[in-house]
Amino acid sequence: MISPDTHRIQTPHGSLHVQSWTPPVPQRAPSLILLHDSLGSVALWRDFPERLAQATGRQVIAYDRLGFGQSDARHDRLPTSFVRDEAHGDFAAVVRHFGLEQFVVLGHSVGGGMGVCVAAAYPQACVGLVTISAQAFVESVTLDGLREAQARFAQPGQLERLQKYHGDKAAWVLEAWLGTWLSEEFSTWTLDERLAQVRCPVLCIHGDRDEYGSLAHQERIAAGVRGPVVRRVLSPGGHFPHREQPEWVIAEVQQFLAAHVAPAAPVA
C-alpha cells in the first residue's frame, strides 16, 4: 500500500489540492500526472493512482483543478479556451511545485484533451501522453450524452452526488460542464491545432460503447499527432475504462511506458 502525500499549491487565482503517490523504491523515470474529467476530482480517481504507482514504480500526481474537489472555488464562467489554457494554468503550477523536468501526462475525458494541449505546450518535458476517453471535437454523440446527463441531474437529489466530492462548488462544476459543452460558442471546438504539435509517444484508450464519444475521437487523435501512437479499444467499454477494467488499463499503460518512454532504473 502506498499512502498519498497531500499538498496545497498556491496559484494567482487560488489554492490547489494535490496528492502524490511515491513507491518505496521509486524508479528514475518521469512522474505521471493525472488530469481529471469534467465532473472529476482527486477523490474520484479512487485507488487508480495508487495502483498505477505500484505497477509502474513511478511517482503519480493528481490534482483538483480550481473550482473542483478540495481546491479553491471559481466564480467565473469557463472560457471556450479552457482546455488549451490548462497547460499554462493549474498544470504549470503543479509542475513547478514538484520541480519536474520531464513527465508523462494521463488524462481522462476532457482531461485527455488537456493532456494533448500539455504535450503540445511542453514538447521537451512531456515524454509521453495517455488519453482515456478523450474528446477531440464536439460530436453529436457527445451532445446527446450531455443532454441525457442534464435531464438526470435535473431530478431531485442528483446534485447531492456531486456535493459529496465538490461541496458547495457542485452547482458551478455542473454548469461548467453542461453549460460550456452545450453552448453555441463551443460548438466548433476541436483539438486539431494542438494535435499537430504533439511529438511524444501517445497511448490512446477508448471504450467501444462510450456514451460521450464514439471511436471517431480516437481516430482523430491518432491521425492528428506527429509521434508514435498506440490505439487500444476496450470492448465492451464505456466512458470510464479505468474504473470498468482497471487491471487492463494499468497493464496497457505499463506496456506503453516500457516500449515508448525512457526505461526506468532503481534509484541508488
Q: What is the pLDDT of residues 151-164, one digit of tens each?
A: 999 998 889 989 99
DSSP at 51: H
Encode 157-177 in three state secondary structure.
Answer: CCHHHHHHHHHHHHHHHHHHH
Has residue 265 been placed in a domain? Answer: no
DSSP at 43: G
Average confidence score pLDDT of the chain: 95
Domain count, the chain: 1
Q: What local confidence, expressed as pLDDT, does residue 90 receive?
A: 97
Query: What pLDDT, in 10s, does the model give residues 28-64?
Result: 899 999 999 999 999 999 999 999 999 999 999 999 9
Contact 61, 98 (CB under 8 A): yes
Has residue 212 been placed in a domain? Answer: yes
Has residue 98 been placed in a domain? Answer: yes
Q: What local confidence, expressed as pLDDT, does residue 27 receive?
A: 77
Q: How many Å apart are CA 54 and CA 49, to the nearest integer?
A: 9
Residue 264 pLDDT > 50, yes or no? Answer: no
Instruction: Please state the rounded mean pLDDT for residues 225-233.
Output: 97
Query: What pLDDT, in 10s, does the model give residues 167-213?
Result: 999 999 999 999 999 999 999 999 999 999 999 999 999 999 999 99
Q: Hey, how many other C-beta atoms are within 10 angstroms of the C-beta on 195?
A: 22
Q: What is the percentage of the chain residues whose pLDDT exceeds 70? A: 97
Residue 106 pLDDT > 80, yes or no? Answer: yes
Has residue 216 been placed in a domain? Answer: yes
Has residue 209 been placed in a domain? Answer: yes
Name the residue range of residue 255's domain: 5-259
Residue 262 pLDDT > 90, yes or no? Answer: no
Pairwise pLDDT comparison (1 vs 203), residue with the higher score: 203
Has residue 91 been placed in a domain? Answer: yes
Has residue 268 been placed in a domain? Answer: no
Q: What local confidence, expressed as pLDDT, does residue 267 receive?
A: 44
Has residue 264 been placed in a domain? Answer: no
- CATH code, domain carrying 78: 3.40.50.1820
